[in-house]
Structure 1
Amino acid sequence: MVKPLFGFALAGIVLLGSGCASNVTQPEQYSGFLGDYSQLEEAMSASGKPVLRWTAPDFDPQRYGSLLVEKPVFHPAQAPSDKMSQQTLDQIATYMRLALQRELVGKLRLVGQPEADTLVLRPAISAVAVSTEHLKAYEVIPIALLAAAATTAAGTRDQEVTLYAELEAVDAASGKPVVGMVRKGQGLSLENRKTPLILDDLKPVLDDWARDARHFRP
């Protein structure tokens, strides 16, 4: 059974340390957005970044003449906070979709409704984790308990931002998933733990992911 992200939700900030500093998302960090994680294998993106990926054995990109990029969802569901406003959450989802469309428009014809030859991209943002730079690892614990540990941290230290995402490509005609992907990436560091997160802090990683989608090879 897939474990949902606990303490990773966008409603709060989780302090993570080196113990969770793997280059790829760990099984306990899967959000449940994808129906099956058992076939994921580590691979390299076009830009040379490690990802977890699954491709259906019969997947043939040449079958598709059109592409529908759905608006990214937050999974688990997000709530605005002092760290991330509702405006920022909306901007992140909108920008992720626009970046994917911008990079993929030359690969396939973009459509607003699925057609017989459409490949549907379903992106999800599963977590935005903020951790204090150079501090020892903290166990992932409920936000209320974490607050006591966080007060011991120097408020002036940089805050490292990690974005987690999951993506599924679905054959519009059959409804079957043909590609699944889980990945993480680093946003720009925040000045300190009182600094709110804004879209510009995540644009570089979202742009990188969109370019990788353009150069995707099964």
Structure 2
Amino acid sequence: MPRSLSLPLLVALCMSLAACAGKTVSPDEYSGFLQDYSQLTEKKLPSGQRVLSWVNPQRDLKHYTRVYIEPSQYYLPLVPTDRRSQAMLSDLSHYYDAALKQELGKVMTVVTTPGPDTLIVRPAIITVSASTQGLRFYEWLPVTLLAAGVSTVMGIRDQDTQITTEVAVLDAWDHEVVAQVVSKGAGLTLKNDKQAMSVDDFKQALDGSALDMRQAYLAHAPDLGPSPLSKQVNH
């Protein structure tokens, strides 16, 4: 291997390995937010998204007709940076809350305080990150491989964004865990490692996460179809 190519090729190899990583959260990425991760299993949802989830077999989801959604939290504090401002992190949390209320409100009554026949949805945002994009198949050609390596070293290569969430679902009466979900979503692509992340970069991922929560609820309570109108009431 020519000496001048060693660094780009090494970087390219690392990028390739990163691109092969799974899209579900691995055990070493668990945050500790959930009570028990041991029973989580991988599920493919109707959207095609793969998540890790568990539903308490002793609880009948058809029993629950109301949902109280707690404000989402950053369980592991994310330090603001030039690329990830405090304002952006706050707005991202508010957007996630709104997305959950929008989707779950289509199949349940969203209430402002817990009560009878109510599920408490406790969401947490675990990671908000960007990493160098993996190699495309055509970039393995010698000339493009060198260019890809140089772009990576200079920080001008595209960046993939990613957001990880964990959600605990509890019975509002006895606070027994009814379900748990861990998911990882892809955001929009950034132009380089200097471009700041924005809420818009993650909206599609969070919308998908909220939709997956609604579809998972319906999958375990099949007799309950979408309500004609989403609604929110004071309880």
| Normalised-by-shorter TM-score class | 0.7 to 0.9
C-alpha deviations, 1:172-198, integer Å up to 9, x for none?
101111101111010001111000000
Extract unaligned runs of 5+ from structure 2.
Answer: 1-13, 136-150, 221-235
Residue of structure 1 in register with 2:156 after alignment = 156
Name the counterpart of 2:170: 170
**1:139-196 C-alpha deviation (Å, 9 max, x unpaired):** xxxxxxxxxxxx9722211110111111110001011111011110100011110000
CA contact (8 A) 1:16 1:130 kept: no
Question: How far, CA to CA, are the matches of 2:134 and 2:54 in structure 1?
Answer: 34
Q: Percent identity?
A: 38
Instruction: Sort the Cα spacing of 1:54 and 1:204 in 2 relative to 1 into closer, same or farther, 3 A.
Output: same
* Equivalent position of 2:31 in the other structure: 31
- Whose helix proportion is higher, 1 or 2? 2
- 2 CA distance for matches of 1:77 and 1:105? 29
Aligned 8 A contact 1:17 1:131 in 2: no
**RMSD over equivalenced CA pairs, Å:** 1.9
Inter-CA distance 34–113: structure 2 relative to 1 (3 Å threshold): same
Structure 1 consecutive aligned stretches of length 4 or more whose deviation exceeds 6 Å: none
Structure 1 letter corresponding to 2:171:
D
User: Of the two, which has the highest radius of gyration?
Assistant: 2
When normalised by structure 2's length, the TM-score is 0.76
Q: How far is the alpha carbon of 1:62 from its aligned partner?
A: 1.4
Equivalent position amino acid for 1:27 in 2: P
| Counterpart in the other structure of 1:66 | 66
Please tell me whether the aligned partners of residues 31 and 76 of structure 1 are also in contact (alpha carbons under 8 angstroms). yes
In the alignment, structure 1 residue 93 sits paired with structure 2 residue 93: yes
* Cα distance in 2, alignment partners of residues 35 and 16 from structure 1: 34
Amino acid in the other structure paired with 1:18: L
Shift of 1:121: 0.4
Partner of 1:46: 46
Residues 1:165 and 1:18: Cα distance change in structure 2 (over 3 Å): farther
Give the equivalent residue in structure 2 for 1:116: 116
Question: What is the aligned length?
Answer: 189
CA distance in 2, matches of 1:26, 1:153: 28
Preserved contact between residue 67 and residue 121 of structure 1 (Cα < 8 Å): yes
